[in-house]
């Protein structure tokens, strides 16, 4: 099976210069990007990295001596290509703030407590069907200096690879119904409402574990589709 990566699929991404996001102003190219044909250099990609995944790297609640504070959650879903096929054995990395909205990163000085039992880093690989699962703590919202009274909606950062270097994706997973959505320039840098909705996880009652943890489903769709149209099943 040969995958192709139509450039049109990129149209859902944010414009690199989204002026409401102040940090973008000096970090976005001003000259047009140059279109090029994909070669093997773009059509291949790393198919490893997952050998570094240790047994419990996908459970962020058992990395320390004690249990982290906050609301325990399950986050799971599939890494898919544009045809809806699972992307097998691909590395999925995540990082996030703790329940109070504080990152362990030394630069984060938000006056909310750090949790000695929570780093906020996790890693797993998708299975043969593209399925992945994490257990973590629901992150808190936090303020940032972009504009007056700016708060990021609660989110989890995801980093995924897929089948080629051009399917590489770094994104953020949001939670359904967040009241901060209308005010966040990063979330709204995606201008198409249906595309924005693909960044929002859905509450998954069927996989919520009774007496233990709520569950959210987040499917990640990467570039790449079959060179020839799929047969009708």
Partner 1 sequence: MPNPRPDGITPSQTVGPYFKYGLTPNGEYEWNDAFTNNLLTGDVSGERIRVEGKVYDGDGAVIPDCMLEIWQADAQGRFSDPQDARALPNSSFKGFGRCGTDKNGAYAFDTIKPGVVPDADGKPQAPHIGLAVFARGMLLHLYTRIYFEDEAGNAADSTLALVPADRRPTLIARRKAGTGNAYTFDVHLQGNNETVFFDV
Annotated catalytic residues are: 103, 142, 152, 155, 157
DSSP state of 196: H
Residues 130-159 that bind partner 1 (CB under 8 A): 155, 157, 159
Q: How far is the CB of 72 from partner 1 (least distance, A)?
A: 19
Residue located via tokens 């999925």:
92
Residues 155-214 that bind partner 1 (CB under 8 A): 155, 157, 159, 163-166, 168-172, 186-187, 189-190, 194-196, 198-199
Size of the site for partner 1 (CB under 8 A): 91
Give the pair of three-digit tokens for residue 13.
């991404």
Nearer to partner 1, 33 or 128 (CB): 33
Residues 71-110 that bind partner 1 (CB under 8 A): 78, 80, 82-86, 91, 93-95, 97, 103-105, 107-108
Nearer to partner 1, 195 or 212 (CB): 195
Which of these, 45, 15, 19, lies nearest to 146 by C-alpha position?
Answer: 19
Q: How far is the CB of 9 from partner 1 (least distance, A)?
A: 5
Q: How far is the CB of 102 from partner 1 (least distance, A)?
A: 10
Dist CA 70 CA 214 (whole Å): 12
* All residues at 6 or more sequence positions from 158 whose CB lies less than 8 Å from its CB, including other chains: 92, 93, 94, 169, 170, 171, 172, 173, 218, 220
Interface with partner 1 includes 220 (CB under 8 A)? Answer: yes
Dist CA 79 CA 87 (whole Å): 5
Helix (H) or strand (E) holding 4: strand 3-4
Nearer to partner 1, 41 or 147 (CB): 41
Q: In whole angstroms, how far apart are CA 228 and each of 39, 62, 176, 191?
A: 18, 45, 36, 30
Nearer to partner 1, 201 or 215 (CB): 201
Residues 11-50 that bind partner 1 (CB under 8 A): 12-16, 18, 21, 23-49
């Amino acid at each position: 099976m040969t995958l192709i990566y139509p450039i049109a699929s990129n149209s859902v991404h944010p414009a690199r210069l989204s002026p409401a996001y102040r940090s973008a102003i000096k970090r976005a190219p001003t000259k047009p990007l140059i279109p090029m044909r994909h070669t093997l250099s773009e059509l291949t990609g790393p198919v490893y990295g997952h050998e570094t995944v240790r047994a419990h790297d996908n459970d962020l609640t058992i990395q320390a001596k004690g249990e982290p504070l906050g609301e325990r959650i399950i986050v799971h879903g599939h890494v898919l290509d544009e045809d809806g096929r699972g992307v097998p054995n691909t590395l999925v990395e995540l990082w996030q703030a703790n329940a109070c909205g504080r990152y362990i990163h030394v630069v984060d000085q938000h006056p909310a407590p750090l949790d000695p039992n929570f780093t906020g880093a996790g890693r797993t690989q998708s299975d043969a069907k593209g399925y992945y699962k994490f257990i973590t703590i629901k992150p808190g919202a936090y303020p940032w200096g972009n504009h007056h009274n700016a708060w990021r909606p609660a989110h989890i950062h995801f980093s995924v690879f897929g089948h080629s270097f051009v399917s590489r994706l770094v994104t953020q997973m949001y939670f359904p119904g967040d009241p901060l959505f209308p005010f966040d320039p990063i979330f709204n840098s995606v201008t198409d409402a249906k595309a924005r909705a693909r960044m929002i996880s859905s509450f998954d009652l069927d996989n919520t574990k009774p007496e233990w943890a709520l569950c959210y489903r987040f499917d990640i769709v990467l570039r790449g589709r079959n060179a020839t149209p799929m047969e009708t099943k």
